[in-house]
Amino acid sequence: MTASASINRPVAGALWMLASGLFFVGVNGIVKALGTALPAAEAAFLRYALGLVFLIPMLRPLLRARLTPKVVGIFALRGMMHAVAVILWFFAMARIPIAEVTAINYLAPVGVTIGAALFLGERLAVRRIAAVGVALIGVVIVLRPGLRTVEPGHIAMLGAAVLFAGSYLVAKRLTLVAGAPVIVAMLSIWVTIGLAPFAALAWTAPTLSQVLWLLLTAGFATAGHLCMTQAFRMAPVTVTQPVTFLQLLWATLLGVLFFHEPLDLWVVTGGLLIIAAIAFITWREAVLNRRGVTPPVTATEV
């Protein structure tokens, strides 16, 4: 599909991205409901291991891919990085409000902007530096250190956001040597491998109910990524990116209505500042005709 064709279908692109966000909110809700019944690493491992069944349609391009040992090593590096990020995300989701996890997760695209300047040679103009500064202020407002206790879940989520950003930067490099199905399949495979030893260290026999819920989580996550891919085909990132910001609204409502979490205006305010920074960075990239450096927030989801 050509770029012009994509621009001509903004409503369809926005709707596909809306569906993607709702699927990912479903992932959040299930993981939150499971809580600490299973260790974070084990829950993450089961989600990815069960999700391997959804890779069957990708087997043909994966088997046809001619990957050098160096490229396989880069895939492995990304998988290990992403695996640790996923463990931290599961840990945080079970311990702090969903809205806080979502707000802090918005920091990942900002981390990509910084990483692209440090490692990929991207120019970090004054405007982008200012946007990064605004995002960091938003994080401080969400965490409010000194005014309340910063819990382990908050620290874990900050670490997850940084590692998700690193994973995306590596993925940007891999797009030069492999297609999207191969990149997605290799991520799932290597994350599963990376999570296995962590899960084995504190393995607890899961119930059938827990396994089925995690299988549903894997299905929701896969559907979310498929909808996001379709959204990108329909419309430019400047159209689809703002729709991802609705996740903060969905997450807040989910926490308030189903998990009796308080409506924290500080978290909403900080999250909106981070969102404003991402929106500005995305807009500037579009104006400068760059090829999507800043990922949509859902791109860093589990």
Distance CA 155, CA 176 (A): 33
pLDDT higher than threshold 80 for residue 280: yes
Phi and psi angles of residue 76, each rounded to the nearest 5 degrees, phi first:
-65, -40
Quote the CA–CA distance of 289 and 157 in Å, as a whole number: 32
pLDDT tops 90 at residue 91: yes
What pLDDT does residue 11 have? Answer: 85
Among 22, 74, 15, smallest CA distance to 249 is for: 22
Note whether 40 and 90 are within 8 A (CB): yes
More confident residue, 35 or 63: 35
- pLDDT above 50 (res 6): no
Can you tell me the distance from the alpha carbon of 273 to that of 285, in angstroms, rounded to the nearest whole number? 19
**How confident is the model over 233-263, as pLDDT tens digits?**
887 777 787 888 888 999 999 999 999 999 9
Are the C-beta atoms of 295 and 168 separated by less than 8 Å? Answer: yes
**Could you tell me the residue ranges of all domains in the chain?**
3-300
Answer whether residue 89 shows pLDDT above 80: yes
Query: Per-residue pLDDT tens for 41-73?
Result: 999 999 999 999 988 888 888 888 888 999 999
Q: What is this structure's pTM?
A: 0.90
Among 203, 162, 155, 166, which residue's Cα sits nearest to residue 45?
A: 203
The residue-averaged pLDDT of 80-100 equals: 96
